Amino acid sequence: MRLLAKEFRAVERTEAWRFLRDNDPWQELDVLRRLHDADMRRRKWRRKRAEQKVYVELSDAMDILRHICTEGCTEVGPVGQAPAKSPCPAYATCRGLQLLIRHFSRCKSRATCPRCQRMWQLLRLHAALCRVPDGHCNTPLCTQFKLKEQQKEAMSASVAAKAGDGRWGLLVKKVKAVSVMSSLGKRSSPSQCC
Protein backbone atom coordinates (compact mmCIF):
# COMPACT_ATOMS: atom_id res chain seq x y z
CA MET A 1 0.00 0.00 0.00
CA ARG A 2 2.88 2.36 0.76
CA LEU A 3 4.39 1.70 -2.63
CA LEU A 4 1.00 2.32 -4.24
CA ALA A 5 0.59 5.55 -2.30
CA LYS A 6 4.05 6.81 -3.26
CA GLU A 7 4.11 5.75 -6.88
CA PHE A 8 0.44 5.50 -7.83
CA ARG A 9 0.87 7.21 -11.21
CA ALA A 10 3.54 4.70 -12.23
CA VAL A 11 1.62 1.72 -10.82
CA GLU A 12 -1.54 2.82 -12.63
CA ARG A 13 0.26 2.47 -15.99
CA THR A 14 1.42 -1.10 -15.34
CA GLU A 15 -0.09 -4.18 -16.89
CA ALA A 16 -0.82 -5.61 -13.42
CA TRP A 17 -3.03 -2.63 -12.57
CA ARG A 18 -4.91 -2.96 -15.87
CA PHE A 19 -5.41 -6.67 -15.15
CA LEU A 20 -6.73 -5.86 -11.67
CA ARG A 21 -9.08 -3.21 -13.05
CA ASP A 22 -10.43 -5.53 -15.74
CA ASN A 23 -10.79 -8.68 -13.63
CA ASP A 24 -11.44 -7.58 -10.03
CA PRO A 25 -13.12 -4.14 -9.79
CA TRP A 26 -13.98 -4.70 -6.12
CA GLN A 27 -10.29 -5.13 -5.27
CA GLU A 28 -9.49 -2.01 -7.28
CA LEU A 29 -12.18 -0.12 -5.37
CA ASP A 30 -10.78 -1.37 -2.06
CA VAL A 31 -7.26 -0.26 -2.98
CA LEU A 32 -8.49 3.16 -4.13
CA ARG A 33 -10.52 3.60 -0.92
CA ARG A 34 -7.50 2.75 1.23
CA LEU A 35 -5.34 5.18 -0.72
CA HIS A 36 -7.99 7.86 -0.28
CA ASP A 37 -8.25 7.17 3.47
CA ALA A 38 -4.48 7.34 3.86
CA ASP A 39 -4.40 10.63 1.96
CA MET A 40 -7.18 12.07 4.15
CA ARG A 41 -5.33 11.00 7.33
CA ARG A 42 -2.16 12.63 6.03
CA ARG A 43 -4.01 15.88 5.24
CA LYS A 44 -5.71 15.89 8.65
CA TRP A 45 -2.35 15.32 10.35
CA ARG A 46 -0.79 18.22 8.42
CA ARG A 47 -3.72 20.49 9.30
CA LYS A 48 -3.41 19.55 13.00
CA ARG A 49 0.34 20.24 12.91
CA ALA A 50 -0.29 23.66 11.31
CA GLU A 51 -2.90 24.47 13.97
CA GLN A 52 -0.54 23.37 16.73
CA LYS A 53 2.19 25.57 15.25
CA VAL A 54 -0.16 28.58 15.40
CA TYR A 55 -0.96 27.88 19.06
CA VAL A 56 2.74 27.56 19.89
CA GLU A 57 3.47 30.85 18.12
CA LEU A 58 0.67 32.58 20.03
CA SER A 59 1.96 31.15 23.31
CA ASP A 60 5.45 32.43 22.47
CA ALA A 61 3.98 35.83 21.58
CA MET A 62 2.29 35.96 25.00
CA ASP A 63 5.59 35.15 26.72
CA ILE A 64 7.38 37.82 24.71
CA LEU A 65 4.63 40.39 25.36
CA ARG A 66 4.97 39.66 29.08
CA HIS A 67 8.76 40.02 28.76
CA ILE A 68 8.51 43.36 26.95
CA CYS A 69 5.98 44.79 29.38
CA THR A 70 7.79 43.69 32.56
CA GLU A 71 11.51 43.75 31.73
CA GLY A 72 11.64 45.63 28.46
CA CYS A 73 13.81 44.91 25.47
CA THR A 74 15.98 46.95 23.09
CA GLU A 75 13.31 49.24 21.61
CA VAL A 76 10.27 49.09 23.89
CA GLY A 77 10.26 49.01 27.66
CA PRO A 78 7.77 49.04 30.51
CA VAL A 79 5.95 52.28 31.24
CA GLY A 80 8.30 54.71 32.97
CA GLN A 81 11.48 52.73 32.26
CA ALA A 82 14.07 52.96 29.53
CA PRO A 83 14.43 49.97 27.20
CA ALA A 84 17.17 47.44 27.95
CA LYS A 85 20.59 47.90 26.38
CA SER A 86 21.20 44.31 25.31
CA PRO A 87 18.81 42.14 23.27
CA CYS A 88 17.03 39.17 24.80
CA PRO A 89 17.61 35.52 23.74
CA ALA A 90 14.46 35.50 21.57
CA TYR A 91 15.34 38.77 19.87
CA ALA A 92 14.09 37.86 16.38
CA THR A 93 10.53 37.26 17.57
CA CYS A 94 10.76 39.98 20.19
CA ARG A 95 11.76 42.58 17.62
CA GLY A 96 8.68 41.87 15.49
CA LEU A 97 6.41 42.36 18.48
CA GLN A 98 8.27 45.51 19.50
CA LEU A 99 7.73 46.97 16.04
CA LEU A 100 4.04 46.06 16.26
CA ILE A 101 3.76 47.77 19.67
CA ARG A 102 5.52 50.86 18.37
CA HIS A 103 3.21 51.00 15.35
CA PHE A 104 0.18 50.53 17.61
CA SER A 105 1.22 53.41 19.84
CA ARG A 106 1.66 55.81 16.91
CA CYS A 107 -1.09 54.74 14.49
CA LYS A 108 -3.96 57.17 13.98
CA SER A 109 -6.42 54.68 12.46
CA ARG A 110 -6.38 51.83 14.98
CA ALA A 111 -9.92 50.75 14.23
CA THR A 112 -9.26 49.97 10.56
CA CYS A 113 -5.53 49.21 10.52
CA PRO A 114 -4.87 45.42 10.16
CA ARG A 115 -1.64 45.62 12.15
CA CYS A 116 -3.41 47.43 14.98
CA GLN A 117 -6.24 44.90 14.90
CA ARG A 118 -3.66 42.14 15.30
CA MET A 119 -2.25 43.98 18.31
CA TRP A 120 -5.76 44.36 19.79
CA GLN A 121 -6.18 40.60 19.45
CA LEU A 122 -2.84 39.90 21.12
CA LEU A 123 -3.71 42.25 24.00
CA ARG A 124 -7.14 40.63 24.38
CA LEU A 125 -5.56 37.16 24.36
CA HIS A 126 -3.05 38.28 26.99
CA ALA A 127 -5.88 39.56 29.19
CA ALA A 128 -7.72 36.25 28.84
CA LEU A 129 -4.61 34.31 29.87
CA CYS A 130 -3.28 36.76 32.49
CA ARG A 131 -3.40 35.56 36.10
CA VAL A 132 -1.89 38.70 37.64
CA PRO A 133 -4.39 40.46 39.93
CA ASP A 134 -6.21 43.46 38.45
CA GLY A 135 -4.18 46.65 38.43
CA HIS A 136 -0.83 44.89 38.88
CA CYS A 137 -0.20 43.76 35.30
CA ASN A 138 2.13 46.00 33.28
CA THR A 139 0.64 44.98 29.93
CA PRO A 140 -1.33 47.84 28.37
CA LEU A 141 -5.12 47.53 28.45
CA CYS A 142 -5.03 44.24 30.38
CA THR A 143 -7.34 45.46 33.15
CA GLN A 144 -9.73 47.06 30.65
CA PHE A 145 -10.02 43.85 28.64
CA LYS A 146 -10.58 41.83 31.83
CA LEU A 147 -13.36 44.19 32.91
CA LYS A 148 -14.95 44.07 29.47
CA GLU A 149 -14.87 40.27 29.51
CA GLN A 150 -16.45 40.20 32.97
CA GLN A 151 -19.21 42.50 31.75
CA LYS A 152 -19.82 40.22 28.74
CA GLU A 153 -20.07 37.21 31.03
CA ALA A 154 -22.47 39.04 33.33
CA MET A 155 -24.73 40.11 30.49
CA SER A 156 -24.46 37.07 28.16
CA ALA A 157 -27.78 38.07 26.65
CA SER A 158 -27.56 37.20 22.98
CA VAL A 159 -26.94 33.77 21.53
CA ALA A 160 -24.87 35.24 18.67
CA ALA A 161 -22.37 36.74 21.13
CA LYS A 162 -22.01 33.37 22.83
CA ALA A 163 -21.38 31.62 19.51
CA GLY A 164 -18.68 34.13 18.57
CA ASP A 165 -17.07 33.85 21.99
CA GLY A 166 -17.09 30.05 21.76
CA ARG A 167 -14.38 30.14 19.12
CA TRP A 168 -12.47 32.73 21.14
CA GLY A 169 -12.78 30.59 24.28
CA LEU A 170 -11.48 27.58 22.37
CA LEU A 171 -8.49 29.59 21.13
CA VAL A 172 -7.71 30.79 24.67
CA LYS A 173 -8.02 27.24 25.99
CA LYS A 174 -5.69 25.79 23.36
CA VAL A 175 -3.07 28.54 23.76
CA LYS A 176 -3.21 28.02 27.53
CA ALA A 177 -2.68 24.26 27.08
CA VAL A 178 0.30 24.83 24.76
CA SER A 179 1.74 27.32 27.23
CA VAL A 180 1.48 24.79 30.07
CA MET A 181 3.02 22.04 27.94
CA SER A 182 5.89 24.24 26.82
CA SER A 183 6.59 25.33 30.40
CA LEU A 184 6.70 21.66 31.43
CA GLY A 185 9.12 20.98 28.60
CA LYS A 186 11.41 23.80 29.72
CA ARG A 187 11.86 22.32 33.21
CA SER A 188 15.28 20.86 33.77
CA SER A 189 14.40 18.54 36.68
CA PRO A 190 11.29 16.99 38.25
CA SER A 191 11.87 18.99 41.46
CA GLN A 192 10.88 22.21 39.64
CA CYS A 193 7.34 20.90 39.38
CA CYS A 194 6.04 22.05 42.73
DSSP 2-69: HHHHHSHHHHHTSHHHHHHHHH-HHHHHHHHHHHHHHHHHHHHHHHHHHHHHHHHHHHHHHHHHHHHH
pLDDT (tens digit per residue) in 106-165 = 899 888 999 999 999 999 999 988 888 877 888 888 888 888 888 887 776 554 455 556
Q: What is the pLDDT of residue 72?
A: 75
pLDDT (tens digit per residue) in 169-191 = 888 888 888 888 877 776 655 55
pLDDT at 192 over 70: no
Name the least confident of 8-17, 37-46, 92-101, 148-157.
148-157
Q: What is the pTM of this model?
A: 0.67
Radius of gyration of the chain (CA): 25
